Structure formats: C-alpha cells, structure tokens
Amino acid sequence: MMDGAHGSHGCRDAPLLKERGQREVFCGLTAIVWLHRKMQDSFFLVVGSRTCAHLLQSAAGVMIFAEPRFGTAILEETDLAGMADAQAELDREVEKLLSRRSDIRRLFLVGSCPSEVIKLDLEKAAERLNAQFADVNVVNFSGSGIETTFTEGEDACLAAIIPGLPKTDARQLVVAGALPDVVHDQMLGLLEGLGIGPVTVLPTSKADDPAAIGPGTVFALTQPFLNETHAALVRRGARHIAAPFPFGEEGTTAWLRAIADEFGVSDDRFDAVTAAPRDRARRAVAQASAPLANRSVFFFPDSQLEIPLARFLTRECGMTALEIGQPYVQREIVGPDMALIGEGPVFSEGQDVDLQLDRAREARADLTVCGLGLANPLEAEGLTTKWAIELVFTPIHFYEQAGDLAGLFARPLRRRAILEGGASSGGIEPPSDARGLCHAGGAEVEA
C-alpha cells in the first residue's frame, strides 16, 4: 500500500531544492481564526501592533460577538523606551480581561514580530501571570511573521500546551490537529467503528478537560504542519503512527489502516467499516475531478499541506505535479505521502519568491496553487490559480469531503474554461476564493 507509483519508495528520498530567500506567506496569527473556535474556554491575547490587530480583524471578518475569544494588546512604539512599563502594562491588561471574563480557563499570550514585542519576554510574563491567577492556565507562543508560515501558528499553540499536560501510562490514541466539527465527528465515528479507543483529540475544547500524555500514548496527526507538536509529543514519551494524511479516499484509508494495524484491527472489520465510505469517496472524486485529469499543477509553499495534496491530485485526480513547494519538509511526517508520489516533480523547501516565480512562469502549469499575494498577479499573466489558504478554511479531510476537495481544485479550471469560452457571466461561478474565509469576532485591548 505504501509503495509509490514508480518504485518502492516513490519520492520519499527525493532531493529537495532548498531556498532561503524572500517569502510570501501570512503569519501565524492567522491560525487564531480557527483555533479560537475549537478551544471554547481559551482566550488568545495577541501582544502586537495595530498591524496585527488589523490582520486578525480582516482575516476573521467583522462580527459583533458578545464574548470574543481573541484580542490584541497593542504595544505602541513609545513602549520601546521602557520594557518594565510594557510588562506592567501587559499585566494590567490581563488583570482587566480576566476580572471581566470568568469564563476564560486558558489564556494564550501570542507573540508577534514587531521589534518592541520581540524584546518582551512573554515566557516570563506567562510564568508570572500563572502564579497570580491560579485558576487560569497562561501559556505563550509565537505567531510572528518572521519565523512562521500561517499554519505554524497552530503548531506553536499545540506545542506550547503539551509540556503542561498531565501524565498517563494508559494505552490510548491521541489525534493532533484542529478539524472542523463535522470532520472531527466523522473521524471519531470511523475510529469508534474500528473499535479503537480511548481517543483524545488535541486541542481539547476545554482547558479543564486536558489530554494526558505518556509512554502508553500513540499519536496520529491530521495536519501535516504539526512539526513542533510532533516533537513535543515524542518528548513526552508518545509514539507517532506515521501515515499518509487523510485527504482523499486513498489517504484516508492509509491513515486509518496505519492506526488500525497499531490497534490490531482485523481486515474484515476494517473492510466492513470503510467499504461504503470508500466507495462513496471514490465516486465523488471521480465525478468532481474530471476537469483535473491530465492537467499540471505547481505548488508554491504556503499552507504546509502541499505534499499530501499533491499526492491526492496526482494519484486520485490524474494530475501531474511539476513543482511541489512546501515551507518545511520533515520526512518523518510527510515521508509516507512522498513515498506515494511518482517520480517527476521538483520538491522545494522554503522560498526565494522571485526565483520561484520565474520557474512558475516557465512551467505555466494548468493550475498554480499559491498564497493570496501571488494569485492576482499570476492570474493577470494568464495563469489559473488556487488560493492555498482556502484549503485550510474548508473541510477537506476524510472520506466524505474527498469529492469537495477535488472540486476545490477543479473550480478555478472550470471558471477559466468558461471565461475563455466567452460564456455569459450568468453561468460563471465567482472565484471560489472570494466567498470569504471565516466570520468571527475579535476585541481590541489597548495597552
């Protein structure tokens, strides 16, 4: 099952084109947009600038929310002169927030990249505040745009929680990665059907109901960007179940199979639980992927989902990958997906955006998957693009979403075909990406 299309290891050991130049990505603060929905008694306090506050507001949309779960403590440039004042100011803001909001059980102090924030020691601040507020767990992590791609915000958040989780020796499965509720429930249903348990999903929705971790824990990842989370779980004695990621019929089956093997599930039971959804997924992908067959795709590094998605597109949708760029390539995590990808594509890690733009222009793939900043200029040059960020804000995991996942990539190609065919606008779908990312609310806490 794990063999690649062209040899036993596919592209598992493929050389990487490593680039360390200018990058075009969102910063890790973006992850707060989906994390605050999953962690219902947590508050994300971004310690940042007005730019950070604006990013959050525009990424999360504007909605009046009675009890927002994120906000920004804005450090003005004048604070540079006195870090002690900035620490005291931060403490005052936290006190104000926690006295108003007794529902907050976990407070994240989220670092950002303005220089005045970098100089603030948020780890110390978290320690100090933890001592002061006994019933609130204060944790810090960085969402800075200097070091991170936007999905690394979730990775940093989960990795920051893990050291403080209780210890257990019990045999259990931990599944790490924030998923939309509908997908989360489908996953638990499949695991339950296979008789696998107990299962804990990270992040848990309540800080008071923490996952416990220890040497009896085996864990699976649902998101390929959880590099630090992986390392933090291993440090706690847990063991990773390496597998392709659960995108498409094949990826979902391989992911479940790896866990089922770990828990000794019989082939008969596995087939009984997965046969019907596998069949539905296969049929949905076949229907949705028709416009993708024999088309080429070029991935800019953005969401950190690129390698598993390239595996899905090349093996289940008939596409050819020309370049697969991913911000970081950790073979321990994405190796099983690489092993399934046939020889041919260039694998690039990191970015030097001008050089990569030259390659994309030369390749002129039928579909270019990239960040928002690059999409419009490339569209203007006649390339058809897909916004990578939409893949993170849309339910795409597991069997029932496999057809939708293929459809997300097919839509821009269909739109381009209609435009080039001169069809009336009545039949043209709006760019899928223009439908808005998410709508939530944020409070601004002025420090």
Query: Which three-class secondary structure string do you get for the chain?
Result: CCCECCECCCCCCCCEEEEECCCCCCCHHHHHHHHHHHCCCEEEEEEECHHHHHHHHHHHCCCCCCCCCEEEEECCHHHHHCHHHHHHHHHHHHHHHHHHCCCCCEEEEEECCCHHHHCCCHHHHHHHHHHHCCCCEEEEEECCCCCCCCCHHHHHHHHHHHHHCCECCCCEEEEECCCCHHHHHHHHHHHHHCCCCCEEEECCCCCCCCCCECCCEEEEECCCCCHHHHHHHHHCCCEECCCCCCEHHHHHHHHHHHHHHHCCCCHHHHHHHHHHHHHHHHHHHHHHCHHHCCCEEEECCCCCCHHHHHHHHHHHCCCEEEEEEECCCCHHHHHHHHHHCCCCCEEEEEECHHHHHHHHHHHCCCEEEECHHHHHHHHHCCCCEEEHHHHHCCCCECHHHHHHHHHHHHHHHHHHHHHHCCCCHHHCCCCHHHHCCCCCCCEEEEC
Taking the complex as a whole, the smallest distance from the CB of residue 442 to ligand SF4 amounts, in Å, to: 13
Give the residue with the Cβ less far from ligand SF4, 29 or 324. Answer: 29
Taking the complex as a whole, the smallest distance from the CB of residue 350 to ligand SF4 amounts, in Å, to: 17
Give the residue with the Cβ less far from ligand SF4, 1 or 62. Answer: 62
Give the residue with the Cβ less far from ligand SF4, 118 or 346. Answer: 118
Give the residue with the Cβ less far from ligand SF4, 117 or 243. Answer: 117
Taking the complex as a whole, the smallest distance from the CB of residue 100 to ligand SF4 amounts, in Å, to: 25
Taking the complex as a whole, the smallest distance from the CB of residue 379 to ligand SF4 amounts, in Å, to: 24
For ligand SF4, the binding residues (CB under 6 A) are 27, 29, 48-49, 51-52, 55, 112-114, 143-145
Taking the complex as a whole, the smallest distance from the CB of residue 328 to ligand SF4 amounts, in Å, to: 18
Give the residue with the Cβ less far from ligand SF4, 145 or 336. Answer: 145
Taking the complex as a whole, the smallest distance from the CB of residue 309 to ligand SF4 amounts, in Å, to: 25
Give the residue with the Cβ less far from ligand SF4, 117 or 383. Answer: 117
